[in-house]
A = this chain, B = another copy of it.
Amino acid sequence: MNEGSPARHELNELGEFGLIDRIRQKARLKVPNILKGIGDDAAVWDVGDHYELISTDLLVEGVHFDLAYAPLQHIGYKAVASNVSDIAAMNGTPTHIVVGLGLSNRFSVEAVDALYSGIHAACENYQVDLVGGDTSSSAAGLIISVSVIGRVEEHRVAYRSGLCPNDILCVTGDLGAAFAGLQVLQREKEVFLANPNAQPDLEKYEYCVGRQLKPEARMDIVHELKDMNLVPTSMIDVSDGLASELMHLSTQSNVGVKIFEDKLPIDHQTYDIALEFKLDPVTFALNGGEDYELLFSIRQSDFEKVKNHPDIHFIGHALAQTDQRVMVTKAGIEIPLQAQGWTHFKK
């Protein structure tokens, strides 16, 4: 470096969460009806008789998806579903989306139709309207930005910051399956590149591959919680891995968390794949990412309402000690949780 030239700091020194923190610190809210800015699954503003919600995702070819194994329909579907999941995580209902699309000239009209057929299928499934967008060319591959708007009644909104000591930590569905599916797809891609005549055999991995390629937002849970008249004390969607999401709840609520390894919901196919790859299924569950399940907390007094729900699992509870973030292993040993998450900006 030349003397006198300004210092250069690499983004990978900060990491994604460090960068978000840096941006958040400089973004002071000044508009009176904005209730929540950067730092939750969606931003929240008050429009009088309810709250509105907005969340945005930017998906870049080669970073978030690989056209070698992901069909365009599924990419379109997943782009919407992963955004809807952010609205679900606020205990809200999505209403409409806008979609920005960057397309290199390798994409045909038929390819764009395929992408939109997935977007429309997701809109239909989640009862969301596509209301606007922007299309442009792109020097390199496919870029998709989706912003989703939702709504929630004032007394039903769930923030990351509402977790209280002794609240029960709940997670929906199962964890690690999307990451397991990704391992299989990446292996099949390698096989195919080495031998283009090889026929991939994905049938026995169907569940996990499906979880990777076409995840669903858990709007069903949001509706059921409403029917049960239950408002979670805190909520977040599991997009970066359970450990990372637990850290967010803990940090923003200023409480500790304790979970139990033997309570983690892991599908048998996820187990099988992890073992096949000589990896630990619990690591898949803790750090896998892209499950789009909901992690939420309830008061102990609400436990009766949900205790028999077949798809809600009780994995632990919150602690008064802020710095305690632990998992109790099957052997009964407490180990500290570490948020690996998805790190963009890696070298």
Contacts and interface: CB of A to CB of B under 8 A. Distances in A.
Contact of A29 (B107, B108, B131): B131
A147 interface: yes
Contacts of A100: 56-58, 145
Given A26-B116, A58-B136, A102-B58, A11 B143 contact: no
Interface string A49-90: 110101111111111100000000000000000000000000
Nearest to A40: B132
Interface stretch (A12-20, A244-252, A288-296, A333-341): A12-20
A55 B9 contact: no
Interface stretch (A31-39, A216-224, A298-306): A31-39
Interface in A138-197: 138-141, 143, 145, 147, 149
A130 B7 contact: no
A130 B25 CA distance: 11
Given A63-B138, A140-B139, A112 B11 contact: yes
Contacts of A275: none
A133 interface: yes
Interface residues of A, number: 83
A198 interface: no
Given A11-B107, A26-B120, A56-B147, A31 B128 contact: yes
Which DSSP category, helix, strand, loop or mixed, fits chain A's interface? mixed
Interface centre among A29, A99, A103, A135 (most CB of B within 10 A): A135
Contacts of A102: 58, 60, 63, 143
Given A10-B108, A110-B9, A54 B132 contact: yes
B96 A129 contact: no
Interface of A: 6-14, 16, 19-20, 22-23, 26-27, 29-31, 33-34, 36-38, 42-43, 45, 47-50, 52, 54-64, 95-96, 98-103, 105, 107-110, 112-113, 116, 120, 123, 127-141, 143, 145, 147, 149, 344-345, 347
B105 A34 contact: no
26 contacts: A7-B110, A11-B105, A11-B112, A14-B109, A16-B135, A19-B109, A20-B133, A20-B135, A30-B127, A31-B95, A38-B130, A38-B131, A47-B50, A52-B52, A54-B132, A54-B149, A56-B145, A58-B101, A58-B102, A60-B143, A63-B138, A135-B344, A139-B141, A140-B140, A140-B141, A145-B145
